[in-house]
Chains A and B, each alone.
Chain A
Amino acid sequence: MAHLAPTPVLEPGQDRTMILNMGPQHPSTHGVLRVLLEIDGETIVRIMPDIGFLHTGIEKTCEAKFYQQVVPLTDRIDYLCPLTNNLCYALAVEKLLGLEIPPKAQWLRVLLNELTRINSHLVWLGTHAMDIGALTVFLYCFREREEVLNMFEMVSGQRMMTSYFRVGGIALEPPLEFFERVREFAGRFPEKVDEYENLLTGNPIWMMRTKGVARLSAEDAIALGASGPTLRGSGVDIDLRRDMPYSGYENFKFKVPVAQEGDVFARYMCRVRELRESNEIVKQALDGMPEGRIKADAPGVVLPDREKMKTEMEALIYHFKIITEGFAVPAGEVYQAVESPRGEMGYYIVSDGTAKPYRVHMRAACLANLQTLPKMCEGGLIADVVAAIGSIDIVLGEIDR
């Protein structure tokens, strides 16, 4: 957050350009992004994103919490994909501990992760289309998103801040109707994606507003640290789920959509195809769901079942100890990255051998993706800035942390 100094007054003759302030309270900046635009008529000369309005110091807060108490904080980083953040944190701590996670928990994590991706992409599609002027799509997307949120509520009791994945497994066994409901949703969902595509993909107005707009070359995308659909839209074929699998993703078959053009339309196509691929993964996860436990066999780390806690003394002692003094994690450091809906979400955790993390750092995909904005917009028109911001799918909670 910067730029306290007022805009300098220019000498006569030098005032070809003017500074225009956009945000932080602007509906198309998806939260509190402030963008300073230096414009020459309608053309962008310079664009400077200004961030930090949502900075809450989550990384500092994590250092004062037990490992298990950090989980609810991770939800709040990227509030459109809380389960992805839960997963990434849980995987990182499990790697530090050297814990083995039972197959059923892994598959459930994959299933819910892909539902989260659908949820996040639906919000993106709805708001992105609305920014550009296609208002109807928003209502359609939120209709399906509501169903996904209801399913999250079924398993975790919360619609958005789920905290459902814990270190060592999953909080609760999902209710039986849950799988029926997901199956029904997954069967219906491809038609819904067709519906969105009918409204947008071939629509001449949509194509005029997105094709050839805000181009980003593959070299620039890599150099600027872009990841996820922003990188794949520029023709770089990398997806951490396929290339560096985690949580049992190697057992799933799916395609990674890549587009070559690097414009707003290419990023749009990548995400819409990802919606379909995620739905396929959800179906595979339902069909192949293994039986067994949903928590690792690690009594000092994983909370005992409620029943056991009431009937067995050891379980009660473990429960008391985990709640009051946490669990110690062997000293060391790990960097765990997962493919979030926005790109490479990474957790870097340093342990000094105590029950509280010494350092937790979140590698926010959006922070790096936002740096591509000047490359996309400079030389373009003001009206396309909104399309460019929408196409990198920013979440300010993750950028500012």
Chain B
Amino acid sequence: MALVPAITDVEQLKGHPAVGRLLAWNRAAVADVKFDRDEMTIWIDPAKLREACALLRDDADCAFNFLSDVTCVDWYPAEPRFEVVYHLLSIPKKERVRLKVRLDSASPAVESLTSLWPGANYFEREVFDLFGIRFTGHPYMRRLLMPEDWEGHPLRKDYPVEGYR
């Protein structure tokens, strides 16, 4: 299981059902792709995220019908600073794909997936709580884990591990 270099060429990865389907739908919405350590990652234009997810969920060849996880990575001080990460699972096809959107630090916001999967609710609230990313269209965008009156977003890289004293 030695490591092999990641493949980032779109042409080579066309064969993957999710990549093929998204490219056929809207070439401009797919920013980047990467196949590394047996896992497929697709970077999507934030404005097109919801449509792309709906497509992957409802397409018979993809059938990514289960939203496993939503999380975020903070690349401070680089810009675009945030990457929101979505892990989709296809229960019929036993296949996974990872979708990512890049967000600037100015006012990070992306469309909520709660209309597609109501289960995104807690995951998105957690990301909002710990990273300060807003999910537009979310029914209840409040803190989930931290107290309501907490200041700052603890999982950001410029937040000290011990907290502010």
Contact = CB atoms under 8 A, between A and B. Distances in A.
Nearest to B120: A225
A361 B65 CA distance: 22
B61 interface: no
Interface string A214-256: 0000000011111000000000101000011000000000000
B37 A95 contact: yes
A29 B148 CA distance: 22
Contacts of A59: 130, 155
A178 B157 CA distance: 45
B149 A4 contact: yes
A330 B77 CA distance: 21
Contacts of A335: 39, 68-69, 87, 96, 98
Interface string A141-171: 0000000000000000000000000000000
A115 interface: no
Contacts of B148: 1-4
A355 interface: no
Interface residues of B, number: 44
A12 B153 CA distance: 41
B68 A244 contact: no
A79 interface: no
Interface residues of A, number: 48
A361 B71 contact: yes
B96 to A, nearest CB: 7
Contacts of B91: 222, 236, 238
Nearest to B156: A60
A98 B3 contact: yes
A52 B144 contact: yes
Nearest to A224: B119
A334 interface: yes
Contacts of A332: 6, 36-37
B54 interface: no
Interface in B52-74: 65-69, 71, 73-74
B61 to A, nearest CB: 18
Contact of B65 (A222, A243, A337, A358): A222
Contacts of A63: 161
A225 B96 contact: no
Nearest to B127: A361
B31 interface: no
Contacts of A222: 65-66, 91
30 contacts: A2-B144, A2-B148, A4-B149, A52-B144, A52-B147, A55-B146, A60-B154, A97-B3, A98-B2, A222-B66, A225-B68, A225-B117, A225-B119, A238-B94, A332-B6, A332-B36, A333-B39, A333-B41, A334-B37, A335-B69, A335-B98, A337-B68, A358-B73, A359-B74, A363-B68, A363-B69, A367-B123, A368-B119, A371-B121, A400-B145
Interface of B: 1-3, 6, 36-37, 39, 41, 65-69, 71, 73-74, 85, 87, 89, 91, 94, 96, 98, 117-123, 126, 130, 142-149, 154-155, 159, 161
Given A4-B149, A52-B146, A371-B122, 18 more contacts: A1-B145, A4-B148, A51-B144, A52-B144, A57-B154, A59-B130, A60-B154, A225-B67, A225-B117, A333-B39, A346-B68, A346-B69, A346-B87, A348-B69, A348-B87, A359-B73, A367-B123, A370-B122
